[in-house]
Homo-oligomer: A and B are copies of this chain.
Amino acid sequence: MEKYIELLKSNQIKVTPQRLAIVSLMDMHGHISVREIFDKIKANFPSLSLATVYKNINAMLENNFIKELKIVGQDAKYELIKEAHSHMICQKCGKVEDIILDTQKLAMAAADKSAYQIEESTVQIFGVCPACQ
């Protein structure tokens, strides 16, 4: 828990039991939806309100403390900000995993082909995970 307390403090986010629960779930789970956060925390912490989850998610998004992950066919998921990475998504079971891929060349190709000032890229790879094959 100490770890998450520090994490929140270092981002100037006031430490509450609700936030600790949200952050530790995100850290352990990797990617998690509002519904999953609410259901899992509620089980051990029945007074939790869904509104609190939404408010905190939104505040954390604005603080750039977490990131929203939108995947076709799935609810929005949230993850802690960490080193840049891509996502692998299993089309059978819906599991989402991080994968480090080099997206530099892609971004450079995009810069070449367009007149955009490139800031970042999002890559999602869809397939079938080992367990589902």
Please list the residues of chain A having a beta carbon within 8 angstroms of any beta carbon in chain B: 67-73, 86, 88, 90-91, 97, 99-103, 105-107, 109-110, 113-130, 133
Q: How far is the CB of A114 from chain B (nearest CB, A)?
A: 6
Q: Give the Cβ gap from A47 to chain B, nearest Cβ, in Å.
A: 31
Which chain B residue lies CB-closest to A131? B115
> Are A121 and B125 in contact, with the CB atoms below 8 A?
yes
A69 to B128, CA, bound (A): 21
- For A103, the closest partner residue in chain B by CB is B106
Chain A to chain B contacts (Cβ below 8 Å), 21 pairs: A68-B72, A69-B72, A70-B70, A86-B110, A88-B116, A99-B113, A99-B114, A101-B106, A101-B109, A101-B113, A102-B109, A105-B105, A110-B125, A116-B127, A117-B133, A118-B126, A118-B127, A119-B126, A120-B127, A121-B124, A122-B122
Closest 10 CB pairs of A and B: A70-B70, A116-B127, A115-B130, A118-B127, A122-B124, A117-B128, A110-B125, A119-B127, A121-B125, A117-B127
Q: With contacts A119-B128, A122-B123, A123-B121 known, is A97 near B70, CB below 8 A?
A: no
